[in-house]
Structure 1
């Protein structure tokens, strides 16, 4: 059996609270005024969404600077944020989409002359001015949380990779199923009993055979304390108590 030492480290934190509900952006506006470049003079800021016969885009305007960008869904508005409070700059985010699958916040920086896109995140879950954005994404019955940092050389938002995501959800086995020794094999660790309680501890991505895509698999703790892997499909079909949506 292949060992994964990093899995053991994650197991030690299974009592941590699960991520909160998917953050909904509040207080979005179509226009506002704010000092983005730190010169003490507030700029007029606005966003306009254009349907463009099925090829939507938006125009963000700050002072005399404009930036046009294609977007996959309707723009809901904009917000002002301060990604790094140690500098004099503030950022503006354009929020697009209305569902957990298409929502995105596109972050821009204004230097007094032009608008520079820094990148996009699924949601602005937590922005505390420390150069980090924490962003939640809905995964069917739980939120995965990603960390984005500003790359100093490029001033772009960069995703910090994680091998595992904490899930921390509990369920009841409705139909017996096995949990496996590793993420990639079918060798059972245990056959879960009907009516027993399980904890879905962490999730990770594995390649889908025969294609470029990946899918989520889950490390499950049984009522007897054994741990093994299973899939989203099995959890959906054979357990009760997980709140599936989206």
Structure 2
């Protein structure tokens, strides 16, 4: 499979520019408080990996960042704009804050190319020739150049997920959110998807990744954010987090993970 990392991108490098800031975000579903004052800063070119037990609020946080869930308190500031306010054009914002889901979200009646071009043509109003050229180049870079005319039913799970990533990239976002993108894949398909994301990280793509793949988290992340019960318990570089976590809760989480591998 072609590796995305083989081609550099000088436009996407770590600059120290604060791209996204989460300030005291609260989220509730009825009487249940899911996010309890989340704080997080993301710099351009940075890869943030969010870890934590199931139900701790990881995926909910991503959905709030993408406007799929409203928040009940706090601020989400992207390039100076508070996305937690009521007057937000999410149709416009999602062009800059892309998201890849675990269940692909591909339209079954459209070909691979048609799925990829839907956003650039209908939302961004780009020229078909230019958008199609970019889409074909991205397909080449993820090893799927020959599948542009296929339908989703003709693809494996790993191939569908790579197409979903290409679709997000073709919108030229500033940030991509990845929500457990390997959770529904067979083990042999996981690697091909992680390789694509690893390549994006090497190019300097700004990403926030929710995953249970610990080895991948350690290798791809600039910072690990550990969540539990709707709060951020710990933020640390991967080497520090995986060798000497600062909190007992993180230590217990890692011990359980190691035990389950036995």
| Highest RCO, 1 vs 2 (Cα 8 Å, sep ≥ 6) | 2
Q: TM-score, normalised by structure 2?
A: 0.23
Question: Which one has a larger percent helix, Structure 1 or Structure 2?
Answer: 2
Q: TM-score, normalised by structure 1?
A: 0.25
Question: Which one has a larger percent strand, Structure 1 or Structure 2?
Answer: 1
